[in-house]
Amino acid sequence: MARIRPEIPALQNWLVALRREIHRHPEPAYGETRTAGLVERTLRGMGLPPRTGIGRTGVVGLWRADRPGPCLGLRADMDALPVQEALDHDWRSTVPGMMHACGHDLHTAMLLGAARVLADDSRYSQRLAGAVKFIFQPAEEEGAGALAMIADGVLDDPPLDAIFSAHVNPTLETGQVGYTPGPAHAAVDNFHITVTGRGGHAAHPELADDPLAPAAELVGRIRSRSAGLDRALVAVCFFQAGTTTNVIPDRALISGTVRSLDRSARERALDAIRAAAAEAGAGSPCDIQVRLVPGYPILRNDESMTQELVRLAGAVVGAPNLVFQAPSYGAEDMAYFLDKVPGSVFGLGCRRPGDHRPAMLHSPRFDPDESVLALGVELFVTLAESFLSPSG
């Protein structure tokens, strides 16, 4: 049983109502205007004047203790996914084709909960020294909202000394906390390959330069060359050519991702794609062009900050409920914050006890245990107490 301060369970109904209101009205990257408005009004009602329009639709709230000291950043993401919800709850999405399938509604609610705990009790401001910056970020799923907020000065005035973020995780049971020191989320690069030949009639393939043959060979060569790469993963996810059954197309398009956990692994994976393209093009009259588009960088949790997180979380949930998580090949743009400020992303289990086949993140049936909200609030407040303690 987690050790949660008594004022937090008293907020559970409020937290659930907040989460469900956000869930009913999911919004895409940089379209989080309704969610940002809810965050703004809620912070203002707590006596924490918000800064809006940070990173376009981001919101920042600042809580200050009575004495000066360090500034701790706590971050939640607000955007939803283009997923059609398959559940039939009363609080299901009202927006066709959009859903909070990655828990950002939970993240936003629990961060507002932490702000309320600190703002409602003057003993925190009397006892602590420094400030907590509550960062409500747009566009995590795509669009690099963290980078946009950094460009608008979210790390300044006052400057951050540390930053933390939580992410719900249905592979962990509610009450468990996941941690990963060092590289925790992969960098992601997109690749786009165009194979250009000369189209023609299907009855006369000898008069055409068919791009399908080298393109199909290229997909196989990418897979064989990238198989077994250490700390990197290459996936071909898109193959398109032609529009009908009796026309040999002029070109074929191939796209996919490279996910890597260190720079050398990234270069090995990109080299594998380039080599596969050269091999597939050898002896072919078709032209093969490879375009690489960098995406989110590797997310590296600061090891000392993660160690402190583990110590604090262990006191809340107990050591048996601390779970080491292997690095994920999923990308996370909290990486941009952690490139500038030491901190850590941690996992919050949201799987109900006894549920052995929970829907995963990004699933249209993702249905997290809402009791995770109280634990998220507790851990955020615990982090604030630790980092802003004058004796710490």
**Catalytic status, residue 296:** yes
Rounded Cα–Cα distance for residues 233 and 230 (Å): 8
Rounded Cα–Cα distance for residues 260 and 331 (Å): 10
DSSP one-letter code for 358 = P
DSSP one-letter code for 198 = B
Rounded Cα–Cα distance for residues 327 and 298 (Å): 10
DSSP one-letter code for 80 = -
Given the DSSP bridges, would you call strands 129-137 and 299-301 parallel, antiparallel or unpaired? unpaired
The one catalytic residue among 296, 308, 332, 378: 296
H helices of the chain, in order, are: 12-24, 33-45, 104-120, 122-127, 145-151, 212-226, 263-281, 303-317, 334-340, 372-387
Residue 153 CB partners (closer than 8 Å, separation 6+)? 54
Say if residues 184 and 95 touch (Cβ distance below 8 Å): no
**Catalytic status, residue 370:** yes
Catalytic residues: 296, 370
